[in-house]
Amino acid sequence: MNSPKRLTVIFANTWEAFCHLEYVGERMAPQKRTVTIELTQEQRKALVAQKVGSSGGGDHYEEVKDVYFEPEDTKEVTNE
C-alpha cells in the first residue's frame, strides 16, 4: 500500500448557508475552502494502512474511519 504524500482538509462555511436558509428561506451550498499540507517522510510512514488479511489472492488493509483535529491548547488556537 502506498503512503499518502499530502493531507487535504476541506472546510465548509455551513454558518452562512444556515443563515441564508433562516433569513432568506432558500437553501444554498456552503462555500468551501481547501487546505493541503505536504507530509514529512515520518508522517507518511505513520499513515500507511496496515495489511490485515488476504483472500482470493487479494490483500485487505485497514480503513480510515475517523479523522479529527486535536488542538494542543484551545486558548492558543488562532485564525492566522
Distance linking the first and last C-alpha atoms of the chain: 35
State pTM to two decimals.
0.67
User: How many residues does the structure list for the chain?
Assistant: 80
Give bridge partners of residue 10 from the DSSP assignment. Answer: 34
Q: Which pLDDT tens digit goes with each residue over 47-74?
A: 999 999 999 999 999 999 999 888 887 6
pLDDT for 74: 64
Q: Is residue 76 pLDDT above 70, yes or no?
A: no
Q: CA nearest 30: which of 40, 20, 38, 22?
A: 20
Q: Is residue 78 pLDDT above 90, yes or no?
A: no
Q: Are 45 and 3 in contact (CB under 8 A)?
A: yes
Q: How many CA atoms lie within 13 A of 48 on its CB side?
A: 10
